[in-house]
Structure 1
Amino acid sequence: MDQGEKKAQGGSAPADARDPHAYSDGFSLTASPYVQSGSPQLKLADEHSFWAVLGDRFEYQEDSKTGSETIVYDLQAWYGTTFDRLVIKAEGDIASGTLEESSTDLLWGHALNAYFDTQLGLRFDQYNEGKDRQWLALGLQGLAPYWFELDVTAYVGDNGRTALAAQAEYELLLTQRLILQPRAELNLYGKGDPENGLGSGLSDLALGVRLRYEFSRQFAPYIGVEWTSTYGDTADYRRAAGDDRSDTQIVAGLRFWF
């Protein structure tokens, strides 16, 4: 046939087309000798709701200069389907048995593609010494090329406050159980917040590395080191309070999920 005579596919099937159900012998998802009466019908995995809790960081930190001790937690939980789910993120610092500060995100996540979820919701910041803040959150979380785990969220608060938080992690498998995990985290603010000791622009940066041993995929103790530094007005607030603008912490903790 000449190429010019070909027509695009579409429209109704011809009368002698093969029946696509001709080989099912009348069996279907809801009608066959093997369907159990009264039982829920078979569903694909993405039609079910699942849940998970991940403790990415639950660790003890000791400042290498002052010897001060802190307990840090960084937890995430979700419930829902492959495409839509409720996500809760919680992190905070506990010193001398007191919760110094905490941040909790309540988000609705929707799959953008096979690797990333968009997230929309609210964030609540609490301070032992300072003023609590509430934010509207819009973020992106997932797996970037070359297996980097990214979590980037923009925030809008009252009185024109804005913020941006970004985290990146990478897992280097030394063996099937021994894993080295570099990690970076930064926070930026659109305007200063003197009541909570935060300046505008780049406020703080944390770089760390942790070495964990997975007794199982769900239970992995680790040790590591983390360096943190503050910048701009945030660093000035720390100096005024008698603290160093940068710290180095020795950490030991547990990573888990269920």
Structure 2
Amino acid sequence: MAAKPAAAQEESDAWRFSGEFDLLELRAGKGDELFIWDATFSLGNDTDQVMLTTSGGGALGNQIDEVDAKLLYGRTIGAATLLVGVRRDIKPHSDWHAAFGLQGTLGTRLDWETYLFVAETGQVTGEVQAIYDLPITQVLHLEPRVKIAWSAQEHLAEATRPGLAEAETALRLRYTLNERVNTYAGVVHERLLGGTRRLGRQQGDALDSTMALIGIGFNL
């Protein structure tokens, strides 16, 4: 393979900062109103990155119920990035996890990521997510998204049993305002799965929910 021009090499090797709030949204359904966020901040080049991700949310008008953050080192090889670092659950419990992940793209429209977490107590959990970007017009995009969480062991403190634990499917219609800001609306469906669903039924917990959503995304 021919070497890149010097200018291209310098641009590729230069470290730069980027930040993105992918989700900053309100959800409503069956009398419940929630807000959530999902943000990523990165410092690095085309090969090496240090990333901080944070997500969480809670009932609108009340205190934040869930917050977690991940500090990761990423190494990009081809179309995939290997990730290793730590995850800190701040709410509802204060726990540390070792975090291992892999993320990448298939073609130009499908983004995917998968994580494995090992808690201080030895519990192993994980999640996988896929996001598809379907252009309708130059500024209007349809975005289906699927996320599935699983657990290797039973964890009664979080009402989780081994196997697939929870799934979230969403459909968002994004409108691009400019190169940094977009707005969107859509619907999200969450449901418990497998043994976790049976445990939730025994405890009288909500087994699934469907909510309308509106939000904004932006790049820093």
Equivalent residue, structure 1, for 2:85: 121
Which of 74, 77, 89 does residue 109 from structure 1 map onto? 74
| Stretches of structure 1 lacking an aligned partner (at least 5 in a row) | 1-28, 30-40
The alpha carbon displacement at 1:254 in A equals 0.5
Of 42, 60, 73, 1:78 maps to 42
Identity %: 23
Equivalent residue number for residue 250 of structure 1: 212
Q: Give, as a single letter, the amino acid of the residue that structure 2 aligns with 1:221.
A: T
**CA distance in 2: counterparts of 1:191 and 1:242, whole angstroms:** 21
Aligned-pair Cα RMSD in Å: 2.0
Give the superposition deviation at 1:82.
Answer: 1.3
Q: What TM-score comes out, normalization by structure 2 length?
A: 0.90
Aligned twin of 1:50: 16
User: Which structure has more strand as a fraction of its residues?
Assistant: 2
Deviations 1:30-59 (A, max 9, x none): xxxxxxxxxxx9972022111111111110
Structure 1 residues 209-220: aligned runs within 5 Å:
209-220=171-182
Match of 1:148 among 110, 119, 125: 110
1 CA distance for matches of 2:156 and 2:38? 25
Question: Which residue of 135, 144, 152 maps to 1:190?
Answer: 152
Give the conservation status (yes or no) of the 8 Å contact 2:58–2:66.
Answer: yes
d(CA) in 2 for partners of 1:247, 1:42:
49
Amino acid at match of 2:37: Y
CA contact (8 A) 2:109 2:134 kept: no
> TM-score scaled by structure 1?
0.77
- State the alpha-carbon separation in 1 of the partners of residues 151 and 107 from structure 2: 28
Question: Which residue is equivalent to 1:21?
Answer: none
Structure 1 residues 148 and 232, CA gap change in structure 2 (3 angstroms): same
Given candidates 170, 187, 193, the residue that maps to 1:208 is 170
Contact 2:37 2:55 in 1 (8 A): yes
One-letter amino acid of the structure 2 residue matched with residue 97 of structure 1: N
SS in 2 for 1:150: strand
Deviation at 1:165, TM superposition (A): 0.9
**What displacement does 1:194 show?**
1.3
Shift of 1:160: 2.6
Q: Which has the larger radius of gyration?
A: 1
**Counterparts of 1:183 and 1:43 in 2: how far apart (Å)?**
35
Q: 1:206-245 maps to which residues of 2 (within 5 A)? A: 206-239=168-201, 242-245=204-207
Once residues 215 and 34 of structure 2 are traced to their aligned partners in structure 1, the CA distance between those partners, rounded to angstroms, is 12
Corresponding residue for residue 136 of structure 1: 98
Q: Which residue of 2 aligns with 1:62?
A: 28
